[in-house]
Chains A and B, each alone.
Chain A
Amino acid sequence: VLVLVRSPLPRLRALLQRCWGRLERGLWPGIFGGQSPPWGPALAVQGPALVPQGISDAGAPSLPESVVWMAAPKQRRTIEVNRCRRRNPSKLIEIKRNIDVCPECGNLKQKHVLCGYCYAKVKEETRLIRMEIYKKEGGPFNAPTVETVVLYEGEKPTEKDEGKRIIERARKRPSWFVQD
């Protein structure tokens, strides 16, 4: 593609000549003979005062007096200081000294809490007993007005279980469910 680069040059030259002329007239007004009026006496001022004031030297630019200064750290906290704070005994997790062994099953348990394994065993058995109760009652809201006793395979009701409702469970009596 042929680009014409010659043509802007005469225009550029004319522009430059005009600018140069204006500049010379401004700097040496006496030379061009009266096209600009002669300068009269002017104020002798110090250098920095010539520069208009609004641009530079603004220390606290446009802040009202009622600003609140927030707290901010002055220095970087070293890793030693950080370690002292993070590893202070008050911030570490406390060790538990109330863990024991359950005498029945040997699992670990807390001293004031029931053993999880033994409780799960009992919970399962009560669930099965409750299923039997529901089957015997036949529907909701049929709570009986007599006591209940749970009998396992091969057990007969004793004279203590005289007026009670009997719930049968089709398995051998577990060793931990003592009838008393």
Chain B
Amino acid sequence: MRLSVAAAISHGRVYRRFGLSPRSRLDLLRNLVTALVRYERIETPWARADEMRGYAERLIDYAKRGDKDERAMRMADFWLTEKDLIHKLFKVLAPRFQPHAGSYTRLLQIPNRDGLDRAKMAVIELKGNPLPPLVRPRRDSDRTLLNQLLKGYRQDAQRARGT
């Protein structure tokens, strides 16, 4: 029976490899999390944004415990390299996301980078940020068949309620 994993098979591995070493990967993701908490919307390669998303959302879950919690404070201290953001995390982001149960970030793909590498880029932002919205929610036009039928049904119900 196979007792060791052959090289170049990575079935079931969930974490991508970045940087020069596992420590370097964590530092890279830590910089991205700090930037996200500071600027609330950043544009990075898609793989890094996808990897960073989980760490950012877990950090906000820790922050929701409150700043009196020892583990939450240690996590925030490690993950945010700029220490004024710890205050922002506990006083601004935790109350903002208190009603949400999860999914505090939005990840959208943008056109490939203009440089030589044409990398797949993404923009990741915290929901509820004060910046202009990236995607406007589009409602279907009123002239579609389904919407016209629904409008008729609504009018009928109103008339029935009125009389």
| Cβ 8 A contact of B110, one of A114, A126, A130, A167 | A114
**B13 interface residue (CB < 8 Å to A):** no
Q: Is B87 an interface residue (CB 8 A)?
A: yes
Q: In the complex, are the beta carbons of A143 and B96 less than 8 A apart? A: no
Among B82, B87, B132, point to the contact of A177 (Cβ < 8 A). B132
Whether, in the assembled complex, B109 has its beta carbon less than 8 Å from a beta carbon of chain A, the answer is yes
Of residues A112, A125, A147, which shows the largest number of chain B Cβ atoms within 10 Å of its Cβ?
A147
Q: Which of A112, A125, A145, A146 contacts B132 (CB 8 A)?
A: A125
Please, how many angstroms separate the alpha-carbon atoms of A177 and B41 in the complex?
Answer: 16
In the complex, A19 Cα to B130 Cα: how many Å?
Answer: 113
**Which A residues from 115 to 163 make CB contacts under 8 A with B?**
116, 119, 122-123, 125-126, 129-130, 141-150
Among listed B1-9, B134-142, B152-160, interface-contacting one: B134-142
Which of A110, A123, A174 has most chain B Cβ within 10 Å? A123
B110: A residues at CB distance < 8 A: 113-114, 116, 119
Residues B88 and A144 in contact, CB atoms below 8 Å apart: yes
Closest to B131 in A: A126
Q: Which of B43, B130, B134 contacts A148 (CB 8 A)?
A: B130
Shortest Cβ distance from B41 into A: residue: A126
A140 to chain B, nearest CB (A): 8
B87 touches A143 (CB 8 A): yes
Which residues on B sit within 8 Å (CB–CB) of A103? 138
Q: Which of B92, B130, B138 has a CB less than 8 Å from the CB of A145? A: B92
Q: How far is the CB of B77 from chain A (nearest CB, A)?
A: 15
A57 within 8 A of B: no
A178 at the A/B interface (Cβ < 8 Å)?
A: yes
Chain B interface residues toward A at CB < 8 A: 38-39, 41, 43, 82-85, 87-88, 91-92, 96, 108-111, 123, 130-136, 138
Closest 6 CB pairs of A and B: A145-B91, A177-B132, A148-B130, A116-B111, A143-B88, A143-B84
A sample of 18 cross-chain residue pairs with beta-carbon separation below 8 angstroms, ordered by A number, consists of: A104-B136, A112-B109, A114-B109, A114-B110, A119-B111, A119-B134, A122-B131, A122-B132, A122-B133, A126-B132, A129-B131, A129-B132, A143-B88, A145-B88, A145-B91, A148-B130, A150-B132, A178-B133
